[in-house]
Amino acid sequence: MSTTHYRINAQIQAKEVRLLREDGTQVGVVPLAEALSQSQATGVDAVEIAPLAVPPVVKLIDYKKFQYQLSKKERAAKSTQKKVDLKEIRLTPFMAENDFSVKVSRGKKFLIDGHKLRIAVKFVGRQLGHREFGDKIMQRAFALLSDISAVDQQPKWFGRQYIATLSPVKNAKAKN
């Protein structure tokens, strides 16, 4: 639920307010006393929904109903947000062609699904003496994925791994 606190009824401090009915129709600018008397007459609360406006906007609505509507809007906004996961494919500097193509195709599926992709080239033992092969295999992977992705983070060395991050471009689904 929203952490914003709204002033209701006697808590409102402005002398004049812009008054709205429950259905959203505008009554106009009225003195606070008149707004409070209308709220009592209709049996609902006067809720200050825009305190920074000049004059402040007050809506005649049941406060619990107002809170429910706000939480409903927040849930709807949260459900439309897409959570982006970071997926990873691990390569080695001297891997077989078929293994490489399988891993890159899996990475392509991740990018099409809208996930970010980390490509890690892992070096073991004597392979560390030939670090240039890590860049070669990374560039091959970039070339195969360039139509559906953009490089977020250029390749960097982290210990024995050469790591880069890719993110999907907007029209990746249309191309495949």
> Across all residues in the chain, what is the average pLDDT?
88
The CB-based long-range contact list for 42-45 (8 Å cut-off, 24+ gap) reads: 45/8, 45/9
> What is the CB neighbour count within 10 angstroms for residue 60?
21
pLDDT per residue as tens digits for the range 111-121: 998 899 999 99
* pLDDT exceeds cutoff 80 at 173: no
Whole-angstrom CA distances from 141 to 69, 102, 103 are 48, 11, 9
What is the spatial distance between Cα 48 and Cα 66, in angstroms, rounded to a whole number? Answer: 11
CATH of domain 86-175: 3.30.110.10
Hunting for tokens 């002398």 — which residue is that?
A: 15
Helices of type H across 13-157: 32-42, 63-80, 97-112, 132-145
**In the chain, what are the domain boundaries?**
9-79, 86-175
Residue with tokens 């891993």, as numbered in its chain: 103
Does the domain at residues 9-79 carry the CATH identifier 3.10.20.80?
yes
- d(C-alpha 162, C-alpha 155), whole Å: 6
| Contact (Cβ atoms closer than 8 angstroms) between residue 81 and residue 98 | no
Examine domains 9-79 and 86-175 and report if their fold is the same: no
Question: H-helix or E-strand containing 19?
Answer: strand 16-20
- Write out pLDDT tens, residues 41-71: 988 988 998 888 888 999 999 989 889 988 9
Please report, to the nearest 10 degrees, the dihedral formed by the alpha carbons of residues 125, 130, 131, 134 taken in order: -90
Give pLDDT, residue 174: 47
The pTM is what?
Answer: 0.53
